[in-house]
Chains A and B, each alone.
Chain A
Amino acid sequence: MDYGWYLLTLFGIYGTVAVSLVLVVGDLGLLTVGQAAVFGTGAYVAALVQVHVHLPFEISLFAGACGGAFVMLILALVASRLSRDRFVFATVAFQVGFSALAQNLTGITGGARGLLGVPGLSLLGHRLEPGRAVALAALCLLAASLVLVSALRRGPYAHALHCVRDAELFARSVGLRPLWYRALPMALAGGITGAAGGMFAGVLMFVDPSPYRLSESCLLLAMVALGAGRSLPLALCGTVLVFGIPETLRFLGVPGTMVGNVRQIIGASILALASFVFFHLAGTERQRSQT
């Protein structure tokens, strides 16, 4: 039963990251392979605030969100200077840099052994017991992020965003500034991912570099690729596929090392299929309409 609650907690946290990625990949049209680093930034900032400054969990969650938002704002600045292909490589570089920092700044991050002694989740001074309470907290975070992102994806602001995504030159000609229109959604996505990272650190009660590597970034991207990065329900289905199916394999007696490989294979297959079916078709459709 406890394991079921733990799986639900993971769904809440990774679902939150998927929702924020929909904003970046779907609405801004920016493919990022550095989302695990933003997730990790939130986790490390929240853990450091709790361990070294001894602030309560709520404030550490806010600090993690601010850390994620700050990182994504920098990426928004980089995106304004690069073509979309090159932006992907900039995010890869950012991801590799983050991993190197997390691994090697042993005095701050604890290096490969990680940062131990992170207090668990609490609310207004009351500790949330692992299990149902923590799972509910993760699902609340997911619901809040869904509300925020859905609100941003409606109305004239969303139309302006899509205009910047699909026809940047036209957007400039009608007075829309791409950097401004990218900065807010990127900061919001970073904040949501950072908050999810902060919660992840609280759930595990320690932070180490392994969940924030490049391969994890690819898995996060695979979660949203199922809906071509644009559909929130399909992003949540992708989360279940990428993280749910491999976890159920543990019940069937598959060794833990193989489960990691299976998870990566499922993620890569979804990414391959989705890139072929959705992104290829979407690109061809756009080329046709431009012609």
Chain B
Amino acid sequence: VKFILIQLLVEGARFSVLGMAVALSLSVSRHLDLTLGVPALIGAYLVASARGTPDPAHLIVAAAITGLAGILVGASLFRHDGSERFSGTARLLLSLSLLLLFENVISLFVGDEALLAPDLPARFQNGIFGLSERRATVFAVAAVAWLVTAGLVRYSSLGRHLRAVRSDPVLALAVGLPVRRTSVLAFGLAFLLAGLGGVLTYMDTAITPGFAFPYLLMAIVAAVVGGSSSITGAIAGAFVVSGLRSLATWHLGAEWSDSTAFFVLVAVALASNRHGRIRTQVISWLRPAWLRAGTGTR
């Protein structure tokens, strides 16, 4: 049980970082895309290429490079009025092909063998609250990422603009908000978080060139479960997904954990309407009658 709880905590923390990236990109764009797997790959392999114990300098360099790449990608995705340059189909195909291209180029030049970060120097004899130092570091970095991102979205002017664009991009443009700049910066932040997520994955588990796709899909499940464009929802969704995976590992075996998460994705997708909101009938069915009466929901 202890092992599964630790797994839930650390895996959920990893998923939540990329989940926040997905939620940020969905805040400014109507389309789901898979490009966020590329910065995760770049971040992980940049740190892995240093071949030493990952330190804060590695994290900063990886985050800076992926963040810059995100700004460039964002600039190519949005027109001057903030509208999107690509249709949903073209964007999905393009992002899928970019991810495949990066995976295979890395596989061709670096090889397919699994890479794992070396252990951190032991400062605590029994770990921290039962976590190994490596996993405690992963959780701590993820927690800092939650605080910084949630704070940025809640209190900064970028966050206010982001919420305005998410709510109504046309109105935001009409009142003179910098819609394009907001969208591009949101993409930069999303790529930065995705790069960070890749580094955390390298610190937690062994990585191969194919790790980014399943990791990204789990993050998308987390973001969709959490309400598609909410940062706190993505964090909560990541822990729900991780919890379901842990339960599946416990009762069915580790080999069924991924399919369980995807079953949840299909169930949520079928229960949600075309705008990504969970259907009100499902919500009223899930909420007990006394709670509905208390909030005045019919």
What residues of chain A have their CB less than 8 Å away from a CB belonging to chain B? 31, 33, 78, 81-86, 88-90, 92-94, 96-97, 100-101, 103-104, 214-215, 218, 221-222, 225, 257-258, 261-262, 264-265, 267-272, 274-276, 279-280, 282-284, 286-287
Contact = CB atoms under 8 A, between A and B. Distances in A.
Given A96-B217, A96-B259, A271-B100, A280 B87 contact: yes
A31 B266 CA distance: 16
Interface in B227-280: 253, 255-256, 258-259, 262-263, 265-266, 269-270, 274, 276
23 contacts: A31-B93, A82-B269, A83-B274, A84-B89, A85-B32, A88-B92, A89-B220, A93-B265, A96-B214, A262-B108, A264-B100, A265-B104, A265-B108, A267-B100, A269-B97, A269-B101, A272-B101, A275-B92, A276-B90, A279-B93, A280-B86, A283-B86, A283-B87
Interface in B57-106: 85-94, 96-98, 100-101, 103-105
A268 B265 contact: no
Given A261-B107, A269-B97, A271-B100, A85 B90 contact: no
Contacts of B166: none
A85 B92 contact: yes
Contacts of A264: 100, 103-104
A83 B272 CA distance: 10
Contacts of B269: 82, 86, 89-90
Interface in B133-160: none
Tell me the dominant secondary structure on chain A's binding face.
helix
B213 interface: yes
Contacts of B90: 275-276, 279-280, 283
Nearest to A217: B96
Contacts of A96: 214, 217, 258-259, 262
Interface in B183-223: 213-214, 217, 220
Contact of B87 (A90, A101, A267, A284): A284
Given A84-B89, A275-B89, 10 more contacts: A89-B32, A100-B255, A258-B108, A265-B100, A267-B97, A269-B101, A272-B97, A279-B90, A279-B93, A283-B86
B262 A93 contact: yes
B244 to A, nearest CB: 14
Given A272-B98, A276-B94, A85 B88 contact: yes
A78 B92 CA distance: 19
B101 A103 contact: no
Nearest to B101: A268
A85 B86 CA distance: 13
B87 A100 contact: no
Given A78-B270, A85-B32, A275-B97, A104 B213 contact: no
Given A264-B104, A271-B100, A85 B259 contact: no
Contacts of A103: 255
A78 B107 CA distance: 35
Contact of B100 (A31, A92, A97, A215): A215
Contacts of B32: 85-86, 89
Contacts of B97: 218, 222, 267-272, 275
A268 B94 contact: no
Nearest to A101: B259
A284 B270 CA distance: 29
A83 B92 CA distance: 13
B93 A89 contact: no
A261 to B, nearest CB: 5
A249 to B, nearest CB: 13
B270 A287 contact: no
A243 to B, nearest CB: 16
B248 to A, nearest CB: 10
A268 B104 contact: yes
Contact of B270 (A82, A94, A215, A269): A82
Given A103-B255, A280-B90, A90 B213 contact: no
Nearest to B210: A215
A100 to B, nearest CB: 4
A127 B121 CA distance: 66
Contact of B266 (A93, A222, A225, A258): A93
B169 to A, nearest CB: 16
B157 to A, nearest CB: 30
A38 B67 CA distance: 39
Nearest to B111: A257
Contacts of A214: 213
Nearest to B214: A96
